[in-house]
Amino acid sequence: MTDKLKQLSPAILTLDDKNYSLPTLIGIEGEKAIDISKLRSQSSYVTLDEGYGNTASCESAITYIDGEKGILRYRGYPIEELAENSRFVEVAYLLLNGELPNSRQLLEFSTNLNESSIIPEDMHHFFNGFPRGSHPMGILATMVASLSTFYPIPDRLDTVTEQQIVINLISQVRTIAAFSYKKSIGEPLVYPSYKLKYVRNFLNMMFSSPVRDYQLDEDIVRAIDMFLILHADHEQNCSTSSVRTAGSSMANVYAVASAGISALWGPRHGGANQQVIQMLEQIHADGGDGTEFINQAKDKNSPSRLMGFGHRVYKNFDPRAMVLKKQCDKLFAKAGVSDPLFDIARKLEEIALKDDYFISRKLYPNVDFYSGLILRAAGIPTNMYTVLFAIGRMPGWLAHWREMLHSEQVIITRPRQIYVGEPLRHYQNIEQRP
């Protein structure tokens, strides 16, 4: 336990007519917790918390969330301020180092990212081994894990090597992502350019070709940059927990990052914004404006589900959604830019925010509701949506990995269970079995 946690009066738990004194703690923002670390050894009881919704698995100084109040802060900074004033590379530095960089630090960090963007040439043979049409997330997870064979990690990780590994992963994940996309559509790979900054470099690798230059749109660049900022970290979510779990075994960091990518791939996590677009496309294909779909979504007997509303943590507005909504409005207000899916999305939002069914259940638009529209406006294909999420989340994963690695004690993650299988029984010869 760190000195940042204050102890309160202990909680008394009575089990089998015996009292147990459990330490109670309070965090920086007033979060209260009961320390049950010794409960099993003292009483033989464990706690049952399916999905870990009420369990703090670690102490962390990286991200703070208050779901009831709609608060998200990176290292103490409100997400709204960072999205408005900062850029992704600066936010990545903040997550990793705890403070916003000064001009010299930011230039050095940005330069190191550019210098580390090339992946080993031999890795290109790996891309050729994937079938055409392979999902970019499958390629990304595989290629990130394979980096450990090109950059062997010493048994004792010194500060310089650790920093270079972090730089490599944040920079090379976008190169691998762009190469994955090019492979999926059968186009030649486009190498990163030293002249372009982080987001511009990625978009150029994605969309330029030997026969077609890509014209960068500053509004699109800013929208993608903001998307990455808003997805850079989100406390102990499924993929970050996977990173900490894999990291607790002292697996190499490339395998750890690949574990995070694999967990993110699921439609209930990083793939949710793709489901929003698919829902909007279906409504459009059916010729509706969303009104009938809303009615169906309220019918418990209907298979229709309103995607992009509600959140496991936020019981109020998702602060990231409010930021992205403004960006959506700005993009689709540009001359010559229109999308019938955006009109349907606005209709769904308008209806849901006035309907008692959704209000009473606190089903407000979440970040996925708008992020898919942002990526669609930028020309990102739907099978790359989760890949963009992974690029944005990489600094957060690495920040948590480093925090865990340098904690006072690294304990391998090993949850307990409640066994519900067969009781003791004894082996029978095959002739005796029914």
Q: Which two tokens stand for residue 31?
A: 């979060």
Write the DSSP assignment of 47-96 as a string of letters: ---GGGTT------SSEEEETTTTEEEETTEEHHHHHHH--HHHHHHHHH
Q: Which 3 state secondary structure label does DSSP give 305?
A: coil
Which residues lie closer than 8 Å to 155 by C-beta, 6 or more apart? none
Query: Does any domain span residue 105?
Result: yes
> pLDDT, tens digit, for every residue of 384-410?
999 999 999 999 999 999 999 999 888
Q: Which two tokens stand for residue 362?
A: 């606190």
Beta-bridge partners for 13: 20
- To the query of whether residue 284 is one of the catalytic residues in this protein, the response is no
Per the residue annotation, which of 225, 233, 318, 368 is the catalytic one? 368
Q: What is the mean pLDDT of residues 88-116?
A: 97
Give how many domains the chain has, as a whole number. Answer: 2
CA distances from 119 to 85, 92, 130, 168, 364 (A): 31, 20, 17, 9, 41
> pLDDT, tens digit, for every residue of 229-248?
999 999 999 999 999 999 99
Q: In the predicted model, is pLDDT for residue 353 greater than 90? A: no
pLDDT of residue 2: 63
Banded model confidence at residue 343, pLDDT cuts 50, 70, 90: confident
- To the query of whether residue 368 is one of the catalytic residues in this protein, the response is yes
> pLDDT, tens digit, for every residue of 274-318?
889 999 999 999 888 888 888 888 888 888 888 888 888 888 788
> In this structure, are 32 and 148 located in the same domain?
no
Per the residue annotation, which of 311, 400, 406, 426 is the catalytic one? 311
Query: Does any domain span residue 45?
Result: yes
Domain of residue 34, CATH code = 2.20.28
The position carrying tokens 């650790």 is 162
Q: What is the mean pLDDT of residues 215-226?
A: 93
Q: What is the mean pLDDT of residues 240-257?
A: 96
Q: How far apart are the first and last CA of the chain?
A: 55
> In this structure, are 41 and 157 located in the same domain?
no
Q: In the predicted model, is pLDDT for residue 330 greater than 70? A: yes
Q: In the predicted model, is pLDDT for residue 47 greater than 60? A: yes
Phi, psi for 153 (deg, rounded to 5): -100, 125
CA 382, CA 137: separation in Å to the nearest integer?
11
Which residue range(s) make up the domain with 32? 6-56
Query: Does any domain span residue 212?
Result: yes
- Computed over every residue of the chain, the mean pLDDT equals 91
Phi, psi for 78 (deg, rounded to 5): -60, 140
Query: Does any domain span residue 373?
Result: no
DSSP class of residue 313?
Answer: S
Banded model confidence at residue 336, pLDDT cuts 50, 70, 90: low
